[in-house]
Amino acid sequence: METKFVEHPLIKKGIITYRTYQIELAEKSLRGSSLVILPTGLGKTVVALLVMVARLQKEDGKVLVLSPTRPLVNQHTLFFKNALNINEIGMLTGEIPPHKRHEIWSKSKIIVSTPQVVENDLIARRASLKDFVLVIFDEAHRAVGNYAYTYIAKKYYEECDDPLVLGMTASPGSDEERIKEVCSNLGIEYVHYKGEKDPDVRKYIPKKEIEWIEVPLPPEIKKLRSDLYSIFEDMTDKLIEMCPFGIRIPKNPTKKELLSLQQRILSEIKNSKEQYLYHVLSIIAELLKLSHGIELIETQGVSAFRKYIERLRGEAESLRGSKASKRLLSEIERKGIIYRLQNIDVEHPKLEMVSEIIRKQIEENPSSLIIVFTNFRDSAQMVLETLSNVEGVRAIRFVGQGSREGDKGLSQKEQVETLKKFSTGEYNVLVATSVAEEGLDIPSTDLVIFYEPVPSEIRSIQRKGRTGRRHYGRVVVLITKGTRDEAFYWSSMRKERRMEEKVGKIGISVEREEKKKEERKPVIYVDIRELRSGIVKYLENETEVFPTTLEVGDYILSERVGVERKTAQDLINSLVDGNRDLFLQLSDLSKTFSRPILIVEGEDVYSVRNVHPNAIKGLFASITVDFGIPIVFTKDKEETAEFLKIVARREQEERGERPIVHGKKTFKTLSERQEYVVSSIPGVGPKVAKNLLKKFGSVEKVMSASEEELKKAPLVGDKTAKAIREIVGSEYKG
């Protein structure tokens, strides 16, 4: 039968195969802002492309496509360039400096970007969404809480006269409230769902075999786990005994229950300041650490647990080591667990099982591509090392960007390169953490192995979606008998079924509020270094925010009111480390503004570090009495923003006091002036500035150093070195 292709003046001929369900979803999505839910591998990106070309043909404007990671942004950009008769397709990521992003914003018809970059450019007024006729949110289930998608959607509806949003996801979650939150945050009017059982979809889904294999826990590991559980039970008894009256604690609390209890105790501390509650918090911290250790020993094995103990020891022996780490390590040693660890040569049977499954797959089909998913990096490394001994296996590890001691993450560029090598068959096994679950377009993946089940239905669906996309695929889930593996497996299965039921029935029509005629908003000047804090996005809906370089204060709310903001962590660190910058800042604030304010942001300043409450009270007394600065405590960024809005409105509407940028920073020493000059370069903070000056000896030598020389200074990576050379060496075009 002859293949039929989509014909459209903006789509290249013979590129997009005609599928009825994709056309139907695109047509429905043009009626109003929509959430499209479609299983992985069935062409959500094609639906987006069809909506895009229909919108561009009808309306004069631009399209913005948002995707959570750089590999996905790169993937979508290549797809659109290959499929469209449009040349002006730009890609934006954090690696592109602001002045170059401005050019892409102005010249591109279609922009594909990570959401954080767009959020930052909108906040800094480097971009506007006024001319965009469509904004596409890939992996739309992320649009909850403070994720950048929420802010971008809100700004889009504010700025654009005729907005249209398209959200795309394979798995919005099983919680109806979460789905409604996603719809509300993206301004969704319609939800369109196609499942694997729909007649017009079924014929495009290759057969996918899912099997789970139970593996036994060796007796040696069982004994270690039993001893750890014994410690856990003793600690729980102590917690129950010490906890305030009225707070019920289960005999065997889960990690979720412990985290909830932790928040409850923090709230109690805020209200009562009872000293024994700090000990309760410390016991909860011990239990959380121990719970993680038990999970590792029973689902990952001895090597993973050994590495965890090493990290715990390093934490306990550090200068800032917590009491919880020290007590837990001491208890584990007392039980003889660490001694026995040294003499156990048994590994988790999952390792051997993975090797055997992959060996057979490669033997039967040498051209197979295989993904092994594991929750932990240490396990990924163990699997990689084990597979190095299997004939025919060319394995590579795929992890996130974050690095820790002895374990370097992959940059986004390295991630893209790794996926390319896997797709072309240079490597035939990808050993991946959760970073590979979302949106990867890897053709002909024959086998996916879950090293352990995951309790999240979203993650489970995404993992399974990595196979059976073009032809027959197989999913194998390894489950350790009698462990939390079993609970996680059944939890995800229940949630998947519930999600299908909820999404299948749901009919959400979110009425978008009509735009109100805006009254004159209060003006707030904010220091550009505060843009990273995320507070500005809470301010913008009710105030006019002007980012600028402030020498004194972080926020100016009127001619007489200037605000310095400190997190509870930063404030106490300044106290412990004897950092005099804090007092210089407060002195300048007090001299410049007749009504200075210090905001201390965080749940509870007394529980941040092991500092005697009297020392903290002494600091507050000095700030209030010596500098004449009132202190305002806020719970989080949102509460900080609310306070700033209230004061700005009161000053400017009731008193007629408009803000004026004024005041000069006091520089006590030449060293401080030098540090200030170097730290003014974007991406170079005070610590990096000090490192650079110590390394090179003067500002002049820092500015004349090559990119390679700059990278030899502590904390200076490729990105920072490149930014310094670009600013110092580029021609001025003012």
Q: Which two tokens stand for residue 363?
A: 């033997």
Among the residue ranges 77-91, 160-174, 673-687, the one predicted with the least confidence is: 673-687
Q: pLDDT digit string (tens) for 693-726?
A: 999 999 889 889 998 999 898 888 888 888 888 8
Structure confidence at residue 505 (pLDDT): 54
The continuous run of DSSP H or E covering 464 comes out as: helix 457-464
SS3 (DSSP) at 395: strand
Q: Which residue has the tokens 């490192």?
A: 691
66 phi and psi, to 5 degrees?
-110, 135
SS3 (DSSP) at 529: helix
Q: Which of 368, 19, 386, 362 is nearest to 205 (CA)?
A: 19
Structure confidence at residue 97 (pLDDT): 87
Structure confidence at residue 514 (pLDDT): 38
76 band by pLDDT with thresholds 50, 70 and 90: very high
Distances (CA, A) of 455 to 372, 485, 491, 539: 17, 9, 5, 36
What Rg, from alpha-carbon coordinates, does the chain have? 28
Structure confidence at residue 415 (pLDDT): 80
Q: Which two tokens stand for residue 29?
A: 């999505």
Q: pLDDT digit string (tens) for 281-291?
A: 889 989 999 99
| Residue 674 pLDDT greater than 50, yes or no | yes
| Residue 424 pLDDT greater than 90, yes or no | no
Round to whole Å and give the CA distance between 692 and 703. 10
Structure confidence at residue 734 (pLDDT): 57
Who's near 698: CB < 8 A, 6+ residues apart? 674
C-beta separation of 166 from 45 below 8 A = no
Among the residue ranges 113-117, 270-274, 457-461, the one predicted with the least confidence is: 457-461
Model's pTM, two decimal places?
A: 0.62
Burial status of residue 450 (CB atoms within 10 A of its CB: 0-12, 13-18, 19 or more): buried
Distances (CA, A) of 365 to 245, 368, 392, 474: 63, 6, 11, 13
**List of domains in the chain:** 20-202 (3.40.50.300), 208-215+349-481 (3.40.50.300), 219-342 (1.20.1320.20), 523-654 (3.40.50.10130), 670-729 (1.10.150.20)
Better-scored residue on pLDDT, 23 or 729: 23
User: Checking DSSP bridges between strand 208-215 and strand 132-138, what pairing results, if any?
Assistant: unpaired
Q: Which two tokens stand for residue 362?
A: 């490669």
Q: Which two tokens stand for residue 224?
A: 């270690």
CA 529: distance to chain centroid? Answer: 20
Structure confidence at residue 149 (pLDDT): 96
Who's near 493: CB < 8 A, 6+ residues apart? none
Structure confidence at residue 150 (pLDDT): 94
221 band by pLDDT with thresholds 50, 70 and 90: confident
Q: pLDDT digit string (tens) for 594-652?
A: 999 999 998 778 877 778 888 888 889 989 998 899 999 999 999 999 999 999 999 88
444 phi and psi, to 5 degrees?
55, 40
323 band by pLDDT with thresholds 50, 70 and 90: confident
The whole-number average pLDDT for the span 448-475 is 62
Q: Which residues of 320-354 are buried (b: 16+ CB within 10 A; e: fewer)?
A: ebbebbbbbbebbeeeebeeebeebeebbbbbebb
The whole-number average pLDDT for the span 193-198 is 78
Neighbouring C-alpha atoms within 13 Å toward the C-beta of 443: 6
Among the residue ranges 137-141, 146-150, 581-585, 619-623, the one predicted with the least confidence is: 581-585
Torsion angle in degrees (nearest 10) through CA of 277, 283, 285, 289: 180
708 phi and psi, to 5 degrees?
-65, -40
C-beta separation of 464 from 210 below 8 A = yes
